[in-house]
Amino acid sequence: MRTASNPPPVIAIDGPTASGKGTVAMRVADQLSFHYLDSGALYRLVAFASEEAGISVDDESGLGAIASRMQVIFKDNKIFLNGKDVTKLIREEKIGTRASRLAIYPKVRDALLTLQREFRQNPGLVADGRDMASRIFTDAVLKVYLTASVQARAERRYKQLIAKGISARMNVLLQDLQERDARDINRGTAPLQRVEGAYLLDTSDLSVDQAVTQVLNWYAKLHH
């Protein structure tokens, strides 16, 4: 039986934007019947909510207040913010960019701390983001740093957008990814990093199935 000193296991999957970690994390969670936390969605929600409220992306206190007041429900692959279905709205590129700009603030990050940890429930959790292993779930049983070359990531994002009927330009996507990487890696608070003990998974030449299998194999090995 699990006790307070033996909390539900967490698999932390961190990595840069458009690396495919969301898809991999969700599939791993599904295979293990674990809960799933898309922590990036929370930053996107702050971006969306603050934009609607007319709060500037430079106003750390205002953004922190919004982050701590949000009513968030994840249900049936949908995300509700204060009762409204915002699943599609928060996936827009401009929201992702705004999210990466406000994610630099300690007040925003602190406001989301408890919310993220509440996802840790039996039988376990797969959490994806930037600081899952380094800050939110430092005791994760398995830590994975999932990445891919910037070229591979830009191509994936390009295909996704085109498939959705949204026009896109490769050079613009490449530049945007590089700017977002730089912001995530160089910020003072909870920067994106590969922590000690994290397995490196470079998916540039891997299919989703191969990446999922690798993570499941690492997890299975923990029990032997």
Taking the alpha carbons of 135, 137, 142, 145 in that order, is the dihedral positive or negative?
negative
Task: State in angstroms the smallest separation of the CB of 156 from ligand C5P.
Answer: 13
Pairing verdict, β 35-38 and 142-147? unpaired
Q: Decide whether 131 or 154 has the Cβ nearer to ligand C5P.
A: 131
Q: Decide whether 35 or 180 has the Cβ nearer to ligand C5P.
A: 180
- 75 annotated among ligand-binding-site residues: no
Tokens in use for 41?
Answer: 């969605």
- 18 annotated among ligand-binding-site residues: yes
> Which residues are registered as beta bridge partners of 79?
74
Q: Decide whether 208 or 224 has the Cβ nearer to ligand C5P.
A: 208
Residues found near ligand C5P in the complex (CB under 6 A): 17, 39-40, 43-44, 96, 99-100, 103, 129-131, 180, 184
List b or e across 144-181, with b for residues whose CB sees 16 or more CB atoms inside 10 angstroms.
Answer: bbbbbebebbbbbbbeeeeeeeeeeeeeebbebbeebb
Task: State in angstroms the smallest separation of the CB of 105 from ligand C5P.
Answer: 10
Q: Decide whether 100 or 214 has the Cβ nearer to ligand C5P.
A: 100
Task: State in angstroms the smallest separation of the CB of 146 from ligand C5P.
Answer: 11
- 83 annotated among ligand-binding-site residues: no
Bind-site residues for ATP: 15-23
